[in-house]
Amino acid sequence: MNIKNLADLRRIKEQVKSETSSRRENETQIIVGMGTCGIAAGARAVMMAVLDEVTKRSLRNVSVMQTGCIGMCQKEPLVDVVRPGEPRITYGNVKPEDIPRIVSDHLVNGRVVSDLVVARL
Amino acid sequence: MEKLARAHVLVCGGTGCSSSGSKIIIPALREKLQAKGMEDEVRVVETGCHGLCEMGPLVIVYPEGVFYVRVKPEDVDEIVETHLVKGRTITRLLYREATTLETVPGYDKIAFYKKQKRYALANCGHINPESLEEYIGADGYEGLAKALDMTPEAVIEEIKASGLRGRGGGGFPTGLKWQFTRAASGDKKYVICNADEGDPGAFMDRSVLEGDPHRIIEGMAVCGYAIGSDEGYIYCRAEYPLAIKRLRNAIAQAREAGLLGEGILSGKFNFDLHIKEGAGAFVCGEETALMASIEGRRGMPRPRPPFPANSGLWGKPTNINNVETFANVPSIMRDGAGYFASQGTETSKGTKVFALTGKINNTGLAEVPMGITMREIIYEIGGGISDGRNFKAVQIGGPSGGCLPESLLDLPIDYESLTRAGAMMGSGGLVVMDETTCMVDVARYFLNFTQDESCGKCTPCREGTKRMLEILNRICEGMGKEEDIPLLENLAKSIKGASLCALGQTAPNPVLSTLSFFRDEYEAHIREHRCPAGACAALIGYTITDKCRGCGLCKKACPAGAISGETKNVHVIDKKTCVRCGECQAKCPFNAIDKS
Ligand SMILES: Cc1cc2nc3c(=O)[nH]c(=O)nc-3n(C[C@H](O)[C@H](O)[C@H](O)COP(=O)(O)O)c2cc1C
């Protein structure tokens, strides 16, 4: 690595900032239910799909989080999307293939993916 | 592209947490994550010091920022299974406030951190100190890039405008020192970073070097550019092996990236650094002794002038600054002088890092704005006095400093106010003492240190401190004489006035300040052969009262065999054989042993 000027420094900085974005709790969050029920229903594959998608799109100000069982076990895997100032949306029976849609439509563009919604808080 | 890690687990790898076990936790975490197939999802990062060393090893889990304390290898499974898999906070590992006993989940909510302003320590504990990229990610080297776009004179003006003063003890204005060195004539000039950190109990500089080594390199390079120097030395004590290792690593990275060496940032400025390991003598922190030591000579001070700015290392103009001084430079250059100058008091700008030790709940490292009161540091950041005891005094400024009593707790701290109160800022060591500390003994402790560390070159320091120490020893042993107090004061005056360097010039300070605030304790030792704090072994005695049930535990505990008595009868202590260790009192289940 050879750093020639301020622009080089800024470029590296942006890259590191996106790699370390998980050292902040961001207001925009995508949360996967990872209780025993969620994991049994395939939440790990869903989580991996979320991480792939967030990486692919270099989303910098998003926190990927996990939570325990919330009592809707028959609808697991559950995925919640939180955007500042908007209601929290819960998606149910989520499959890894659904993740690109949830991320691009809702997380990034704010359009709720109605056919997968099971709850609004 | 590397997959985004959804969680980062930051484990403190500073010297404090390493010695309490973080070195085992890091591999254990990695192993467990691997076993769960989560090694790509969760990143484990070893960081520098977070300052709350008392509570180590510290583990912080992001994105939530949950702060776990005193983590043991046995806790690793639960952190992975419960927190990282299921997203549940583990309450029993959370930090508990010393004052309220409430658990606090988040880093930023802990009282220890709330009052702090982390400026020099901004990155410590938050980045991986072995990664140049992470330093750059935290705005690193932008200050240098900006400086290289300015004229050296403008850089010096910026430092002057910030009001930055030397953090190594003297408090000399940094910009002015740079200006003197720039103005000195000579084709070769040097930059030196003083990382000797000799004050007992101080570890501010070590934490910066271990936790954020690139910051020092950047600060020194800015200085090199400003004064017209192409070569620098970091003088670091060999007792700081981790700091030296991280510095070496950082220097190699900076060279490879073109941030040190020839044509820095593809411009015309050349600058490179060496590390010189010192053997840890206190006097080698004094700038002229330090330079003698780098040159390979015995570390002894010489009279000034000439000052290093005109004739320093190998007779060349040299600018020497402390680690924390350099640590402030990159952000001042990057953000401009304004923010720094807006913090602090009229004469002392910015923040200062203090090492909190002694009888206080949260021992550790705290960076606070100048002008804060001692009460805020001790009670709000430090969590108050440990074991529910009462405050007696705080020692500030190390062996050159003094003790402040309760009545001065609300004094806003800056260079001038401390000097006026008979103490001094020094390098930032704070030792808190409670009612069980004897102030004569404290003065004796510090004088013993300076006496031991005196290099012996000048007579007032070499002989004078020895005589003062003899007097303090006899007072603590109950053999002090009425004329000892004026004699101490007299000696102190001569030593202060006639010593060659600040080691001798300030050595009597701990005695003078305890004499001015705690003279009654000296008098009690001398006139009544009594140590009011009950700390001086020669002046206390133990007696067994009639509460004794004759259990015999004290007899077993006594290392000197001074206790006799039949089972179920009141025991007695033989005053002549008793070594006054207090073991009997600690063991007695009936509170039957009195100390007087
Ligand atoms: C006995 C003695 C010990 C000293 N030890 C240190 C030390 O460990 N670290 C330090 O930075 N300055 C120490 N100093 C102060 C240095 O001589 C010098 O003033 C300082 O490095 C200048 O840097 P600054 O202007 O950034 O504070 C010591 C001075 C004396 C007299």
**Closest alpha carbon to B318 in B184, B436, B448:** B184
Helix (H, G, I), strand (E, B) or coil at B190: strand
Distance from Cα B573 to the centre of ligand 1, integer Å: 50
How many domains does chain A fold into? 1
- Any domain includes A87: yes
Closest chain A C-alpha to B521 CA, distance in angstroms:
52
Query: To which H or E segment does residue B278 belong?
Result: strand B272-278
CB contact under 8 A, B6 and A3: no
Distance from Cα B381 to the centre of ligand 1, integer Å: 27
Asked if the ipTM is above 0.85, the reply is no
Residue whose CA lies nearest to ligand 1 atom number 2: B286
CATH number of the domain to which A92 belongs:
3.40.30.10
Whole-number Å distance between alpha carbons of B162 and B351: 12
Characterize the bridge pairing of strands B190-195 and B103-104: unpaired
- Any domain includes A61: yes
- For A:51-110, CB contacts with B below 8 A are 51-52, 54-56, 63-68
Instruction: Write out chain B residues lying below 8 Å of A35, CB-based.
Output: 86
Whole-number Å distance between alpha carbons of B491 and B540: 29
- Any domain includes A5: no
Whole-number Å distance between alpha carbons of B584 and B566: 16
Report CA B207 to chain centroid distance, whole Å. 9
The answer to whether residue B41 neighbours chain A at the CB level (below 8 Å) is: yes
* Domains by residue range for chain B, with CATH: 7-113 (3.40.30.10), 132-341 (3.40.50.11540), 351-434 (3.10.20.600), 439-527 (1.20.1440.230), 541-595 (3.30.70.20)
Tell me which of B136, B218, B259 to substitute to probe the interface with A (most A C-beta atoms closer than 10 Å).
B136
pTM of the predicted structure, to 2 decimals:
0.90
The answer to whether residue A17 neighbours chain B at the CB level (below 8 Å) is: yes
Q: How many CA atoms lie within 13 A of B422 on its CB side?
A: 18
Neighbours of B228 (CB within 10 A): 17
| Residue A40, domain extent | 24-120
Characterize the bridge pairing of strands B429-434 and B351-358: parallel
Closest chain A C-alpha to B54 CA, distance in angstroms:
24
Helix (H, G, I), strand (E, B) or coil at B483: coil
Would you say B570 and B544 are in contact if contact means Cβ atoms under 8 Å apart?
yes
User: Could you tell which of B165, B205, B216, B286 is best to mutate to test the pocket of ligand 1, judged by most ligand atoms within 8 Å of the CB?
Assistant: B286
- Any domain includes A49: yes
- Any domain includes A14: no
Ligand 1 site residues (CB inside 6 A) read: B 166-170, 172, 194, 196-198, 282-283, 285-287, 320-322, 325, 427, 501-503
- Any domain includes A10: no
Q: Provide the residue-wise pLDDT of chain B in tens; the chain has 596 residues.
A: 567 788 999 999 998 999 989 999 999 999 999 998 888 889 999 999 988 988 989 999 998 889 999 999 999 999 999 999 888 899 999 998 877 888 887 777 888 998 899 999 999 999 999 999 999 999 999 999 999 999 999 999 999 999 999 999 889 999 999 999 999 999 999 999 999 999 888 999 999 999 999 999 999 999 999 999 999 999 999 999 999 999 999 999 999 999 999 999 999 999 999 999 999 899 999 999 999 999 999 999 999 999 999 999 999 999 999 999 999 999 999 999 999 999 999 999 999 999 999 999 999 999 999 999 999 999 999 999 998 899 999 999 989 899 999 999 999 999 999 999 988 998 899 999 999 999 999 999 999 999 999 999 999 999 999 999 999 999 999 999 999 999 999 999 999 999 999 999 999 999 999 999 999 999 999 999 999 998 998 888 899 999 999 999 999 999 999 999 999 999 999 988 998 888 999 999 999 999 87
Neighbours of B88 (CB within 10 A): 16
Helix (H, G, I), strand (E, B) or coil at A26: coil
- Any domain includes A4: no
Helix (H, G, I), strand (E, B) or coil at B374: helix
CA-nearest residue to A29 within chain B is B63
